[in-house]
Structure 1
Amino acid sequence: MQLYSYKAKDSKGMLVKGQLEASNQAGVADSLMKRQFIPISISLVETKNNIKIFDNLFVEKITLDDMIMFSRQMYSLLKAGIPIIRAMVGLAETTQNKKFKNVLIEVTKQLEQGRDLSSAMAIHNEVFSRLTVSMVMVGEGSGRLEDAFYQLAIYFEKEQETRKRIKAAMRYPTFVILALVAAMIILNIFVIPTFASMFEKFDAELPLMTQILIGTSSFFVNYWWLLLVMVIGSVFAWRRYLNTEPGRFKWDQYKLKIPFIGDILKRTLLARYSQSLAMVLRSGVPMTTGLSLTAHAVDNSYMEKAIITMRQDIEKGDSLLRASKSSELFSQLVLQMVAVGEETGRVDELLQEAADYYEREVDYDLRSLTAKIEPILTVFVAIMVLILALGIFMPMWNMMSAIKGN
């Protein structure tokens, strides 16, 4: 028996947390369902006996590409009339990702024991999000499971395209920053010490800037291990901080205010919100339930809290438009789309239009990102060159002038 931590919803929709002992996650899920609880997440509580430091070091991660392929293949197989268990067995055999293969095998075993697909997937909440599980559940209820997987495939593909565009836009600034860091390391380890020994040999009088550069280089060379410990310690402390709810909330809030990048990130998250909510509403999920699912899908605790507040406002009787206005997340154009959607009963269609609008805005911002960042990087390089010239070459010129004078 192992100890598991769980989060679940009771019959009134209230969040319940606790721990249970069971042989596996399926056992925990069964116990919760018998108590009329709906499992949200189930995770193994790590103890000294089951912590394996290097277990996850070389384990292949499950990527969006895997989820896209899974959703596309499930859509094709189910549309062709192939039974679910047979489809899952086939996908488990052909999947290249070993971790995903094991998950699909476990899901198939649960199906063979009589569990439906959505609850079998819900056990593996680290792979299948609440949004994914809910879409599958709606598909099972409506008898159109293949349509649910088709919509999930479209959703994952758009998410993948957005991530690729962001990575492509950040490639040049990242390369320049890494090149600058490498140049600074080379200067401090090899170049500046060479000039320092030459200045010492000639007993030259050094200006303040040169003394600062030589002192920094000396500290870098002699205490590199201390710098390494400080960097590793800072990274560890930062990750520990982000693992706390207040830390993650503050960081997620701050990310949306970072110059140049913050607006792009915010529009990306709003596009994800609009796309997710449009998808679940199109599938017949109630508005309040859809907002709860979408809140988790945005993957930003600050925006998640704002969306949960919107859901609470709607539960009190507000319209989606009024709740959206109160959140102060959306532009006037998108609010007009929501208003028209509510008036015409086409909220899902207008939310999809809003998602497309935000994606176009993200595309434009990403294309202009390099043009915005390039001048800043140029100024930074110029400052580095100026400091180097004042600190290294000025004493050399003074020495040459003194030698010529003599």
Structure 2
Amino acid sequence: MRKKKWKDKDKAEFLKRLGTLLAQGYPLAEGIELLTVYKPQHVKDALRSIVLKLRSGTTLHQALEAEKFPQDVLLYLYFAEQNGDTSTGLVESGELFSKRVDMIKKITGLLRYPVILLWVVSMLTLVMVNYLFPHFQNIFSVMAMEPPLITKLFLSFIDFVPFIFWGGSAFVTLFLCYYFFIFRKYSPHEKVRILQKIPGVSTFTESLITYYFSSQLSSLLKGGISILHALSIFEGQNYIRFFKDEAKSVKEQLQEGYSLDGVIAQRSYYQADMSLIIKQGQSRGRLASELRHYSDMLFSSIEENVKKTVMTIQPICFLLIGSVVLLMFLSILLPIFGLINTMG
């Protein structure tokens, strides 16, 4: 059993390199074997396991599923294999995976410093409350003086912190109980409807659903198959159940005589302009390319919005932590100056 983990960054690079080798004419198993050169032992073991599965008749996306590749990447590869364009699917899924890894790394980096600062401030506050402020209170009590207003405010804030902590802990506990015992039992569409009711999350959810549906549908239609056949392929995958159920529902409505743009327009979890893109693409006979351009723009928009959100959160965290630090030091310095003036 392999102890070391195959890193996500290396998995993404593997997909891109394998796709390039397939485009150059290498057979799938030979391409994977070629990529084992200069790899760490745990990665070599993983790649050899994939090759063995492929030679026993397992499909590529199923072999990669055993190596814990993300569900959306496996879905991408499933569609690429169905479309007969595995090399392009590998490269595109690898690029998508790589962008997500880079995005998570940037988000982690941006949030690391506020978390470290929060920990340092918490330790300083703990020391001050337990050791420094009791001495101040004794001194002011002996000298029959009132501590400065800002010191009183800080002490009141400290007294209120346990309520914030326990209130936050109770909220997190209730949220986890709701998620594990109630939310997870809902159907995918019910989960999406709940997410749509949360401000901020609703827009991101709709953009993500629209992106995945439009990008994968465009890749299938690019191969020349019909919309109904493409939806049947959607329905046949088992990686993301929402799209499985969605494809079945949309296909049933199309078979009843409804148009694709009309069906999409009735569904609230897609971006409003998607139905217009579909209508224009069908009228021009370029539905696959129109959806591809549309999904590329959606991905860029999602990426930009995530960056903006993180870049907004970081200065807010710094501002809050800075305000606490300023209040903390003023609550120390002002009593000291007051005592110095009294003794002078």
Q: Common fold, TM-score beyond 0.5?
A: yes
CA drift of 1:235 comes to 8.1
CA drift of 1:339 comes to 1.1
Give the aligned partner of residue 213 of structure 2: 273
Give the aligned partner of residue 282 of structure 2: 342
Give the aligned partner of residue 245 of structure 2: 308
Deviations 1:144-199 (A, max 9, x none): xxx32223312330342255246436643x14531441232222233343422421
The structure 1 residue matched to 2:266, chosen from 310, 319, 326, is 326
CA drift of 1:312 comes to 0.4
Which structure is higher in strand share? 1
| Alignment of 1:178 onto 2:121 | no
Relative contact order (C-alpha < 8 Å, sep 6+): which is higher?
Answer: 2
Structure 1 distance, partners of 2:294, 2:64, is 30
With the length of structure 1 as denominator, give the TM-score of the two structures. Answer: 0.61
Structure 2 distance, partners of 1:252, 1:183, is 39
Q: 1:352 to 1:387 in 2, by over 3 A?
A: same
Moved more, 366-375 or 308-317: 366-375
Q: 1:260 to 1:349 in 2, by over 3 A?
A: same
CA drift of 1:62 comes to 4.8
**Partner SS, residue 94 of structure 1:** coil
Structure 1 distance, partners of 2:40, 2:179, is 29
Q: 1:393 to 1:314 in 2, by over 3 A?
A: farther
CA drift of 1:316 comes to 2.7
The structure 1 residue matched to 2:293, chosen from 353, 359, 370, is 353
Structure 2 distance, partners of 1:214, 1:330, is 46
Matches within 5 A, 1:275-290: 275-283=215-223, 286-290=229-233
CA drift of 1:352 comes to 0.7
Q: 1:351 to 1:296 in 2, by over 3 A?
A: farther
Give the aligned partner of residue 106 of structure 2: 168
Give the aligned partner of residue 90 of structure 1: 34
Alpha carbon RMSD of aligned pairs, Å? 4.5
**Unaligned stretches of 5+ residues in structure 1:** 1-54, 140-146, 220-226
The structure 1 residue matched to 2:6, chosen from 50, 61, 84, is 61
Give the aligned partner of residue 102 of structure 1: 45
Give the aligned partner of residue 21 of structure 2: 76
Structure 1 distance, partners of 2:53, 2:259, is 40
Structure 1 distance, partners of 2:159, 2:218, is 59
Structure 2 distance, partners of 1:313, 1:129, is 22
CA contact (8 A) 1:107 1:121 kept: yes
Structure 2 distance, partners of 1:163, 1:251, is 25
Q: Give the AA of the match of 1:96.
A: K
Deviations 1:242-261 (A, max 9, x none): 55672486887777777667
Q: Give the AA of the match of 1:344.
A: R
Q: 1:331 to 1:123 in 2, by over 3 A?
A: closer
Matches within 5 A, 1:192-203: 192-203=129-140
Matches within 5 A, 1:6-405: 59-63=4-8, 65-77=10-22, 79-80=24-25, 82-91=26-35, 93-94=36-37, 96=39, 98=41, 100-113=43-56, 115=57, 117-118=59-60, 121=63, 124=66, 126-127=68-69, 129-139=74-84, 147-165=85-103, 167-168=105-106, 171-172=109-110, 174-204=111-141, 205=146, 208-212=152-156, 215=159, 242=179, 246-247=183-184, 263=203, 266-283=206-223, 286-292=229-235, 296=239, 304=242, 308-309=245-246, 311-317=248-254, 318-366=258-306, 368-369=308-309, 372-373=312-313, 376-377=316-317, 379-381=319-321, 383-385=323-325, 387-388=327-328, 391-404=331-344
Structure 2 distance, partners of 1:170, 1:382, is 20
CA drift of 1:355 comes to 1.0
**Partner SS, residue 249 of structure 2:** helix
Structure 2 distance, partners of 1:295, 1:109, is 23
How many equivalent pairs are there?
323
Q: Give the AA of the match of 2:283.
A: E
Q: 1:60 to 1:374 in 2, by over 3 A?
A: closer
Q: Give the AA of the match of 1:187.
A: L
Q: 1:110 to 1:359 in 2, by over 3 A?
A: closer
CA drift of 1:64 comes to 5.3
With the length of structure 2 as denominator, give the TM-score of the two structures. Answer: 0.69
Structure 2 distance, partners of 1:334, 1:181, is 43
CA contact (8 A) 2:210 2:271 kept: no
CA contact (8 A) 1:209 1:390 kept: no
Structure 2 distance, partners of 1:101, 1:239, is 38
CA contact (8 A) 1:276 1:294 kept: no
CA drift of 1:60 comes to 0.7
Q: Give the AA of the match of 2:153.
A: M
Q: 1:178 to 1:203 in 2, by over 3 A?
A: same
Structure 2 distance, partners of 1:175, 1:361, is 25
Q: 1:257 to 1:345 in 2, by over 3 A?
A: same
Deviations 1:96-127 (A, max 9, x none): 365554343234334444x2545863773843
